[in-house]
Amino acid sequence: MAVTKEQVLEKMKEKDVVVLDVLPRTDYDMLHIRGSESLSIVGTRPEEFIKAVEAKYGRDKFFITYCSGYPCRHFMEAAEALVKNGLKAEGYAGGIQEWAESDLPMEGSRVKA
């Protein structure tokens, strides 16, 4: 139930895919995968996270969740909650750490010019 950075890059080309940064918005604003969306699961019950996802995106998208990278597990918590509630989702374990180390497209206030 985990995808690689290469798979994330490929899936992002599809219109039905939403890449979700599940950390707090302040972290997202500092650094995130270009093209990803912010919807935090941190400090939120899984049921509330699911309601927020459904309200914003509906039930027909494929979700890729990520967080900061190892050892952060919020990405898996989010992906499991989505799947458990009948949505399609996978987690990206490498998170923003691996993405940045691979020099892949990022946005945010900490992006080096």
Pick from 102, 107, 111: which is nearest to 19 by CA? 107
Whether pLDDT at 113 is above 80: no
Domain ranges of the chain: 2-107
The answer to whether 108 and 35 have CB atoms below 8 angstroms apart is no
**Cβ density class 61-71: b for 16+ within 10 Å, e for less:** bebbbbbbbee
pLDDT, mean over the chain: 95
Nearest CA among 91, 110, 90, 100 for reference residue 27 = 110
* Model confidence pLDDT, tens digit, residues 57-87: 999 999 999 999 988 999 999 999 999 999 9
Topology adopted by domain 2-107: Oxidized Rhodanese; domain 1 (3.40.250)
